[in-house]
Amino acid sequence: MGHNDGEPILRIRGIGKVLDRKVVLDGLDLDIHRGETLVVIGRSGCGKSVLLKHITGLMKPDFGEILFEDQDITQFSRKKLFEMRMRFGMLFQSSALFDSMSVGQNVSLPLRKHTGMGDGEIREIVADKLGLVGLTDVYDKFPSELSGGMKKRVGLARAVVMNPDVVLYDEPTTGLDPIMADVINDLICGLQKELEITSVVVTHDIKSAYKVGDRIAMLYGGRIVFSGPPDEVRTTSDPVVRQFVEGRAEGPIKPL
């Protein structure tokens, strides 16, 4: 753990984004190192999900560049973006399972679309990935028949089915009970060890951040205002970080 010395796989340089006449990202800089689990914390609506969407090319910044293995993805064609995304996995806040498809079809879709594998082989891999997230006997179920926690886990299985290099988690524990939240935290740690992936977790759940993060970065006012290992977060005197991790209403962050 503590891969700060690893080379950066993603380098974000001065990106800015205005959405609905509001400055969401304001010259944000951030390096993400190969193999680390980086947790980005910040208040709801501060632009954490927008940051993830920029990393994946779902949104384009108004200015600045995002380098993935030294290539600026903001200049990528759709074809190149799709090639890059095959090396990415993403767990969405609402799981975003395709509700017209069964669990099996959801998890196997990337394999069916991008590999020439046969049905048997695909079924085996899907069962294996579902096993990895602790699910059995759900292959033919539909998303509407699953609980929130199970949906998250199916979403996670889908995110890692192509053995990605980078996995992005958008609020992985939001809306789950504390026990299920911890199960998801364990899975994030487990998958990172098992598959040796780089993980970026966006959350406002500080407990989850301490548990899964090698490094924690705080997003505030459209920039990263703090970045360091969990121990440093616990002891820092930075007033913004202190107020957030202690969950106080008074302080430099205005409760809007």
Partner 1 sequence: MTFFILLGRSFLDFVEDMGGVFILLWRVFHMIPRMFRNITNILVQMERVGIGSIPLVLVTSLFVGAVTSIQAAYQFHGYVPLRYLGTVVGKSVILELGPVLTALVVGGRVSASIAAELGTMKVTEQIDAMEMIAVDPVEYLVLPRMVAATVMLPVLTVFSDLLAILGGMVVANISMSVSYNVFASGLKLLFETEDLIGGLMKTFFFGLIIAIMGCYHGFATKGGAEGVGLATMKAVVSSCLLILISNYLLATIIFRLIFAPS
Give yes or no for residue 19 binding partner 1 (CB under 8 A).
Answer: no
The reply on whether position 63 binds partner 1 by CB under 8 A is no
Contact between 96 and partner 1 by CB under 8 A: the answer reads yes
| Residue span binding partner 1 (CB under 8 A) among the ranges 25-33, 77-85, 118-126, 192-200 | 77-85
Non-local CB neighbours of 252 within 8 Å, separated by 6+ positions: 239, 240, 243
Choosing from 9, 10, 15, 90, the residue that interacts with partner 1 (CB under 8 A) is: 90
Q: How many residues bind partner 1 (CB under 8 A)?
A: 24
Taking residues 154 to 183 in sequence order and writing x for each that binds partner 1 by CB under 8 A, - otherwise, the string is ----x---x---------------------
Q: Which two tokens stand for residue 19?
A: 């959405």
Sequence-distant (6+) residues with CB within 8 A of 78 are: none
Rounded to a whole number of angstroms, the minimum distance from the CB of residue 97 to partner 1 is: 8
Q: 11: which strand partners?
A: 31, 67
The span from the CA of 32 to the CA of 252, in Å, is: 27
199 touches partner 1 by CB under 8 A:
no
From 109, 108, 154, 104, select the one nearest 134 (Cα to Cα).
154
Min separation Cβ 75 and partner 1, Å: 18
Q: Output the CA torsion sign for 48, 242, 26, 164.
A: negative
Question: How far is it, in rounded angstroms, from Cα 221 to Cα 248?
Answer: 18
Binding of partner 1 at residue 83 (CB under 8 A)? yes
Q: Is residue 91 classed exposed, middle or buried when 0-12, 13-18 and 19+ CB atoms within 10 A define those classes?
A: buried
Question: Reduced to 3 states, what is the DSSP secondary structure of residue 146?
Answer: coil
Q: Is residue 76 at the binding interface for partner 1, with CB under 8 A as the rule?
A: no
**Least distance to partner 1 from the beta carbon of 69, Å?**
17
* 99 touches partner 1 by CB under 8 A: yes
Catalog residues that contact partner 1 under the rule CB under 8 A: 53, 56, 58, 78, 82-83, 85-86, 88-90, 92-94, 96-99, 109-110, 113-114, 158, 162
